[in-house]
Chain A
Amino acid sequence: MKTFLAYLLPPNWRLVLAAFFAVVALHICATFAAPHLTLATPYDRLIASLPANAMRVLPPVTPSAQPLPFMAPDARIAVCRFDTSKGSVALTAGLPSPGWTLSLYNLNGENFYTAVGEPGRRVNISLVLIPEQERFQGLTPEARGERSVPQSQLRVPASRGLAVLRATDAGLAFRARTEAELKRTACGVAPS
């Protein structure tokens, strides 16, 4: 032991300092690289079966049909893979009960918009997702001499992403109502 310690001491302080900085640099690089080294992100896994700019009600989550890990059958899910690269996308959804949520995610699974159902009142959402880059989106309804539909415009920080409507499972008696509500949700290219 003494011989071993005698071999190590005195330490090469320049090498110790270099090791410390190299550890920190490798830690930072590995952490930032980790999301890019994953074979399939949640977005990649979900888009395989989804058409662009159309709402799709996913089948109930079961052990044999579980799109993502840790996705539980405590909610039914409708997903729209939005793509604003060719124009704005209109999204309408209703949140009739507490626990219902509408979330918009970018390609990295980061949530940039969320709406939640409230007790005692229905929350209706009507959004137009417009790309961040300034671009002519066509004439407004007023300019065309038409009545405008009240819609909130949401400038999305990603040209592609997912709109996910989670409808909570309220039990067997409510499943038909939940299904009908999910099918009423719409996602499509906004009329210009």
Chain B
Amino acid sequence: MSFVRHQIKKRVASALRLLTDWALFITIVLIGGLGSSWYMVEAGNRLTTVTVGPWVMWKTAGRMDADPYTRAHFTSLGALPISTGIADTYLARTDSEGNRLHSSCDYTLTGSPPANFWWSVSVFDVGGGLIPNAADRHSFTSDTAALMPDGKFVASLARSASAGNWLPTGGAGRLAVVFTAIDYGAAGTSEDRDPTALLPTITRGSCR
């Protein structure tokens, strides 16, 4: 009798082991396969993106030779990017210290973009929508921004109006800032350009 019980126990244990092995296998495959793909499409890595402080640019955005991650990223984003052959488009979702941009805080963008670039800075909500505001301000370009006497560009992202280049952010929640630079001096690919010289820093001010 005890021999039969022992046999049954052994078979049940073996079946359980097989079942948990397969459950573990399927879980690992789903999390590993789908999770790694999602991460590479959403965030990218060094092979697909250039990261300078809070700014991220997809290296082959809008190009025929774009890698599958870049293609999937922009299709899921629903945006029509300008080719990186002529323009660098950087997106920031955090400030220069790595904190998420949020409309409850004020931010200052400071940079000194070189003269041989047309550039623009635009602020969006986290989904890429423009933020409605009474002033109807959403972006500044190298043509419309007021520069400091030393050639620097300073803009403020804030809920309440401030002097200078003010971009209203009230009520948007999490924010995304896009910096686009089009090189009209010596049009080259994004690999030829030094992004650190282009990009403004994003400094957090007071939060409410």
Contact = CB atoms under 8 A, between A and B. Distances in A.
Interface of A: 7, 12, 15, 18-19, 22-27, 29-32, 34-35, 38, 40-42, 45-46, 61-64, 66, 68-75, 98-99, 101, 103, 105, 108-112, 114, 116-119, 157, 162, 164, 166, 168-171, 174
B104 interface: no
B124 to A, nearest CB: 6
23 contacts: A19-B25, A22-B25, A26-B30, A30-B38, A32-B68, A38-B76, A42-B80, A66-B130, A68-B78, A68-B128, A69-B127, A69-B129, A70-B128, A71-B80, A71-B128, A72-B122, A72-B130, A72-B180, A73-B130, A74-B180, A98-B118, A166-B82, A169-B139
B38 to A, nearest CB: 8
Interface in B36-55: 36-38, 40-41
Nearest to A171: B144
Size range of the interface on B? 35 or more
Nearest to A69: B128
Interface in B124-150: 124, 127-132, 136, 138-144
Interface of A is mostly: mixed
Contacts of B130: 61-63, 66, 72-73
B33 A99 contact: no
B141 A27 contact: no
Given A31-B37, A61-B138, 13 more contacts: A34-B75, A42-B80, A62-B136, A63-B129, A69-B128, A72-B138, A74-B120, A109-B75, A109-B80, A110-B66, A114-B85, A116-B187, A168-B118
Contacts of A24: 33
B72 A34 contact: yes
A177 to B, nearest CB: 12
Nearest to B137: A73
A166 B41 CA distance: 27
